[in-house]
Amino acid sequence: MSIFKTLNFKMLVFPSRKSRLARALTIEDLRKIAKRRTPKGPFDYTDGAAESESSLDRTRNRYKSLQFVPSILRDVSKVDTSVEVLGEKFALPFGIAPTGFTRMMHAEGERAGAKAAEKFQIPFTLSTLGTSTIAEVVDAAPSGRNWFQLYMWRDREGSMRLVENAWNAGVRNLILTVDVPVAGARHRDTRNGLTIPPSLTIRTLIEAAPKVEWWWNFLTTPELRFASMSQWKGTVAELLDYMFDPSMSFEDLKWIRRQWKGTLSVKGIQNVDDAKKAAQIGVDAIVLSNHGGRQLDRAPIPLELVQQCRKLLGKNVEIHIDSGITRGSDVLAALALGADFAYIGRAYLYGLMAGGQEGVERSLEIMTNEITRTMKLLGVSSLKELAPKHINFA
């Protein structure tokens, strides 16, 4: 038999965004594509963490160290990946987390994330430090579920104007981030001299030159700016220290609870006592988060807090989680231990940098496929069947 009869030759296909993204089978694959196509400053802003970056490494490694305990001979011909959180039903048990400066990663920015989230029937969260307004996000995804994340500024009136704008645009879930009294020491950003908009020094011009698509988009699209404030000329670290209010306390949380008529989530809970205090104030959800390792070095690992918080809070307050989630199986592990919902940040941004909205959709497709496949292999046909028995959390 001729060897040529056993070979399956494929027609030569010239590289394109579609073919490039199709070859990505994991979020890590998208990360590698993103790194090749994005200048160092924006990529490192997404990829990096604070100081030694140990908080991020430890958080990711905790997911990797888990052992699943599957059940066999269960009918998993059909699985239901939907979930009900904060009074609404979503097709998947995770949403897109708030991320700042998003158009710096790719010109399509938050609009791409909102459109992809709308298509996959999951929520999209706009950051206070976003580069699109809430009105622009809602216009891009009018049928989507769009949420807003608030950093409480030193300018309280300015902060509440953002909240009012969000409400008027149809936002009904506010996520208050509480773990940023000051900016974490993100050494990659400092070394890169990262500014908004990116500084066009000789160094950045030389480094960005091979990133043709990013460079073209930067020159031919509207100026990169903060949607919630006038343009800032300093570094990112200087901006964060200028904006954030280190005097914020639980009294402020009570005040915001009284002001906001929708559901309120508090993001950045890192111990059980704070979870209890937030619940007593009347928040609807706590988000266990170490800010993706971008604030405190050697911070607590959110996944390790899930069972303790669930035992303490019961079903009175929803428990959400973010930080270090790069696989659909990570989401399922968190849910099995007692979480209600999860968020992805970097996982979506890697897709954005790899290919705009199509890249974001590819990241969500990868996560969806991993969730569906892992559920079947675990022997569960709905998320409600997940339980601590499915996890060896030694």
Rounded Cα–Cα distance for residues 315 and 310 (Å): 7
> How buried is 194 (Cβ within 10 angstroms: 0-12 exposed, 13-18 middle, 19+ buried)?
buried
Contact 23, 17 (CB under 8 A): no
Count CB atoms within 10 A of the CB of residue 16.
Answer: 10
Residue in 106, 291, 320, 390 annotated catalytic: 291
Separation of alpha carbons 32 and 51, rounded Å: 23
**Cα(354)–Cα(363) distance, rounded to whole angstroms?**
10
Q: What distance in Å separates the CA atoms of residue 321 and residue 268, rounded to the nearest whole number? A: 9
Give the tokens for residue 205: 């011009």
Partners of residue 90 on adjacent β-strands: 83
Nearest-5° Cα angle at 115, 109 to 120: 130
| CA dist 8 → 1, 22, 56 (Å) | 15, 19, 43
Helices (H) and strands (E) in the chain, counts: 17, 12
* Pairing status of strand 318-321 against strand 341-344: parallel
- Mark whether 390 is an active-site residue: no
Q: Rounded to the nearest 10 degrees, what angle do helices 250-259 and 272-281 cross at?
A: 30
Decide: 333 and 60 in contact? Cβ < 8 Å: no
Instruction: Name residue, tokens 């079903």.
Output: 315
Looking at the annotation, which residues are catalytic? 291
